[in-house]
Structure 1
Amino acid sequence: MSFFSNATPSIVRLNIGGKKFSTTVDTLTQREPHSMLAAMFSGRHTIQDSDKGYVFVDRDGKHFRHILNWLRDGAVPTLTDSECSDLLREAEYYQLLDLMEGIQAVLNKRKEDEQLATELTRIDIIKCIQSDRVRFRGVNLSGIDLSKLDLSFVDFSFACLKNVFFSRTNLQCAKFRDVDAESSIFHNATLRECEFTGANLRGSLLAGANLQSANLQDACLIDCSFCGADLRSAHLQSADLTNANLEGANLEGANLKGAKLANANFNGANLQRAYLRHVDLRDTLLEGAKLGGANLVGAIR
């Protein structure tokens, strides 16, 4: 059986990981003639229908529409950095070399722009913290290395802290209200009693950090790593911990009321006396977790 539609010989129907697309042989072969897609539909190979007229490709179909649009008009899509990384991986699989170059150029340009936009250097900050009262509210500090400094009680509220290195930094009682700290590194940092209300910490590394009594209410903690972190008595109400890794973390007495815990990993974690009332735990990993004294009234398991 042919992969072409009976009605229009040039139309190709594709099933990419369960998502279905229709396009033409010209689209798949002309812009990137040396790609895997071009080779598949060049006519040199026999392609069999695998799903009622659709050719099945076992890849994630989430970004395939961007690949098709690239092949149609040659425009690199405007995406977030993480989405660009996902699309780059798909482009590499399909051997779309020009698209790979275009995506990498976009990522490089963004990195250059962030470096140019950074308002302060590490030296500037060291000079600032010698004063009595330090505020970096709303300042762009993206990409700066602030590791091993004493930044306790500093106010970073509303600042842009993407990809900042805070490893082993003393940030006790610092304020991070509504900051954008995506992909930042807080490895082994001291964050006791810090305020992260409404902060975006997506993809950040907080393994081994001391977050005792920290306030992370309404924070975006998707894909964060808290492995071995100390979160005793932490406030995590309505925080989004989807896909977060809290393996071996200490959450004794933590408040997780209304928190989103889909696919979160609490294996080996200490959740004794934690507040988990009415929390949905159906997709949460809890192997070896300590739940003694935890408030699980109404929790969905």
Structure 2
Amino acid sequence: MSSPESSMTVDSDIPSLVRLNIGGKKFCTTIDTLTQREPDSMLAVMFSGRHTVCQDAEKGFVFVDRDGKHFRHVLNWLRDGAVPMLKDSEYSELLREAEYYQLLGLIEEINAVLNKRKEDDDIDTELTRTDIIKCIQSEKVRFRGVNLSGLDLSKLDLSFVDFSFACLKNVFFSRANLHGAKFRDVDAEGSIFHNATLRECEFTGANLRGALLAGAGLQSANLQDACLIDCSFCGADLSSAHLQTADLTNANLEGANLEGANLKGAKLSNANLKHANLQRAYLRHVNLRETHLEGAKLDGANLLGAIR
């Protein structure tokens, strides 16, 4: 690691003080710093006291023939376990130094940072309609956490695709086949699902504020805990849909089919349910006082404890 002429000097007043010359850059640290955090590293072995380091004739610096650009990061890691914020190219340089000095902990941390950045880059990748069409030709398609905001995905066969946690703001899904697709915890504010097939879809916890779902087929869809504020479901088929604790404030469900739907705990303040089919719907203890129900069919609906 050091040249035959290299040496270590020990300050007489501070026995643990070590002066280092790394490729021409001067550093001052302690034996404890060099040996405690990474006891199996080359630096720890060199200054463990088990090996003799020759005395340098000039100012007592130990010379190491390495580029000193990143050695301050090496010392900061040894001092307090800190990993610096660097560009990927600089991380590659620091990684080479960490490998040279056999700093296994630092190597692991750098690789973890680089892997995390790669994952984030994959999430932030912008896809086009053509990219989506290519992807859906495979058997299992997942766009979990992907940003697809503003894309035109109308009329595509996207059945059983997993969009969970994705950003789908203002996406056009008009007339798309989304049967069995997963939209768990997506942000689909303002998206267009006009006349889309959404049978048995999962929208649990999704944000659909202001989305257009007029004429959509949502039979047996799961919209529990979804934000459906200001949504339009005019003429949509929500038969047997799960809408427990969904927020339908100001939603327009005029003429929608909600036969057998479960609306337990749903918020329906100022919702428009005029001429909607609510036969056999579960409305127990639901507050309907500010809901517009003119012309709605309520035959067989469970209204026990409902506030009207």
TM category (shorter chain) comes to: 0.5 to 0.7
Contact 1:146 1:169 in 2 (8 A): yes
Q: 2:7 — aligned with what?
A: none
1:215 offset after TM fit, Å? 0.1
- Structure 2 counterpart of 1:281, one-letter code: L
Deviations 1:148-175 (A, max 9, x none): 0000000000000000000000000000
Contact 1:118 1:141 in 2 (8 A): no
Q: 1:213 — aligned with what?
A: 220
Q: 1:255 — aligned with what?
A: 262
Q: 2:87 — aligned with what?
A: none
Q: Distance in 1 between matches of 2:177 and 2:277?
A: 24
Aligned partner of residue 276 in structure 1, secondary structure: coil
Q: Distance in 2 between matches of 1:146 and 1:216?
A: 21
Q: 1:234 aligns with which of 237, 241, 260?
A: 241
Percent identity, aligned pairs only, is: 88
Q: Distance in 2 between matches of 1:232 and 1:258?
A: 17
Q: Distance in 1 between matches of 2:213 and 2:145?
A: 22
Question: RMSD across aligned C-alpha pairs, in angstroms?
Answer: 0.7
Q: 1:173 — aligned with what?
A: 180
Aligned partner of residue 267 in structure 1, secondary structure: coil
- Structure 2 counterpart of 1:190, one-letter code: T
Q: How does 1:271-290 map to 2 (within 5 A)?
A: 271-290=278-297
- Structure 2 counterpart of 1:154, one-letter code: V
Q: 1:152 aligns with which of 154, 159, 162?
A: 159
Q: 1:192 aligns with which of 199, 217, 227?
A: 199
> TM-score with structure 1 length normalisation?
0.61
1:118 offset after TM fit, Å? 6.0
Q: How does 1:8-19 map to 2 (within 5 A)?
A: none
Deviations 1:17-55 (A, max 9, x none): xxxxxxxxxxxxxxxxxxxxxxxxxxxxxxxxxxxxxxx
Q: How does 1:39-118 map to 2 (within 5 A)?
A: none
Q: 1:131 — aligned with what?
A: 138
Deviations 1:37-74 (A, max 9, x none): xxxxxxxxxxxxxxxxxxxxxxxxxxxxxxxxxxxxxx
Aligned partner of residue 220 in structure 2, secondary structure: coil
Q: 1:75 — aligned with what?
A: none
1:119 offset after TM fit, Å? 1.6
Q: 1:293 — aligned with what?
A: 300
Q: Distance in 1 between matches of 2:144 and 2:234?
A: 29
Contact 1:118 1:142 in 2 (8 A): no
Contact 1:254 1:275 in 2 (8 A): yes
Aligned partner of residue 275 in structure 1, secondary structure: coil
Q: 1:140 — aligned with what?
A: 147
Aligned partner of residue 295 in structure 2, secondary structure: coil
- Structure 2 counterpart of 1:157, one-letter code: S
- Structure 1 counterpart of 2:163, one-letter code: F
Q: Distance in 2 between matches of 1:249 and 1:236?
A: 14
Q: 2:34 — aligned with what?
A: none
- Structure 1 counterpart of 2:227, one-letter code: C
> TM-score with structure 2 length normalisation?
0.60
Q: Distance in 1 between matches of 2:197 and 2:186?
A: 18
Shift in CA distance, 150/126, structure 1 to aligned 2, threshold 3 Å: same
Aligned partner of residue 126 in structure 1, secondary structure: helix
Matched, 1:243 2:279: no
